[in-house]
Structure 1
Amino acid sequence: MIPPRFPVTAEQIDLVVAVFYAAIRRHEVLGPIFAAHVTDWPPHEAKIAAFWRNAILHERSYEGSPMQAHMRAGNVAPEHFRDWLMLFDETLRRSLPPESAAGWSALAHRIGAGLRMGVENMRPKAGPPVLR
């Protein structure tokens, strides 16, 4: 069995996901974006918790593609990831011991950077194409 990336339990993952999405629903910018796509929160939170358990605890319970989901959404912009990460970091700091929060934050920032770049690359570019 592969050890976790940093000290965190499945129960702590579930707690962080629940606290985070409660904050998302109240957020003035991110709340409406999520509301446009998530109509049933418990299954969404369970799926995201499975994603994090896979990424941190090496469980194999998650099926999906975060990159495809964010690119398909249509209303997710690169600048939204800054707000998402700030809110996620705040949730981690309030919910976990410092070592666990720091490890999870670093992982979330790496994943967020990749998702942000994917969304950025899918944006239509202004002006005519450069053919050199």
Structure 2
Amino acid sequence: MIPPRFPITVSQIEATVAEFYACVREHPGLGPVFARHVTDWSAHETKIARFWRNAILFERSYDGNPMAAHMAAWDVRAPMFAVWLGLFDSVLRRTLPAETAAAWSALAHRIGRGMHIAIQDRDSAGPPRLG
């Protein structure tokens, strides 16, 4: 069994994810984008909590592909990741002990950098060239 990346409980992960998405729904920039793609918030929060449980606790309960999901979302743009991470960081600081929040933030920023680069590349590639 692989030890967790940092000490955190499943209930802390679930509570943080729930608080984050409550904030997202109210955010003037992120809320409308998420609302176009998320039809069942409870199911989405459960899925994302499983993602983080896998990323932090090394559980094998998540089977999605977040990169593909974000790449397919036509209205997700690279600058949104800084906003997303800023909001996520504020939730982490409010809901978790400082060391746990810092460790989770570092992980989220590493993941966010990869997504940001992929979306930036997608958007700068322009339309496909045929022929």
TM norm structure 1: 0.93
How far residue 2 of structure 1 moved from its aligned partner, in angstroms, is: 1.2
User: How does 1:37-76 map onto structure 2 within 5 Å?
Assistant: 37-76=37-76
Structure 1 residues 100-115: aligned runs within 5 Å? 100-115=100-115
Size of the aligned set, in residue pairs, is 127
SS of corresponding position for 1:62: coil
Secondary structure of 1:34's aligned partner? helix
Q: Aligned ranges for residues 17-96 of structure 1 at < 5 Å?
A: 17-96=17-96
Instruction: Percent identity, please.
Output: 59
Question: Could you tell me how far 1:125 is from its partner in structure 2?
Answer: 4.0
Distance 2:24 2:18 in 1: 10
Q: Whole-Å Cα distance in 2 between the matches of residues 63 and 43 of structure 1? A: 14
Per-residue deviation at 1:3?
1.1
**CA RMSD, 1 decimal:** 1.1
> Match of 1:113, as an amino acid?
R
Greater than 2 Å deviation, 4+ residue runs = none
Aligned amino acid, residue 37 of structure 2: H
Listed as ranges, the gaps of 5+ residues in structure 2 are: none
Contact 1:6–1:56 (8 Å) recurs in 2: yes
Residue deviations 1:34-87, cap 9 Å, x none? Answer: 000001100000000000000000000001111000000110000000000000
C-alpha separation between the residues in 1 aligned to 2:60 and 2:74?
28
Residue type of the partner of 1:43? A
Say if 1:54 and 1:60, in contact at 8 Å, map to a contact too. Answer: yes
CA drift of 1:18 comes to: 0.2
Matched residue SS, 2:5: coil
Cα distance, 1:7 vs structure 2? 1.0
CA positional deviation for 1:123: 1.1
Unaligned runs of 5+ in 1: none
| Deviation (angstroms), 1:124 | 4.1
TM-score (norm 2): 0.94
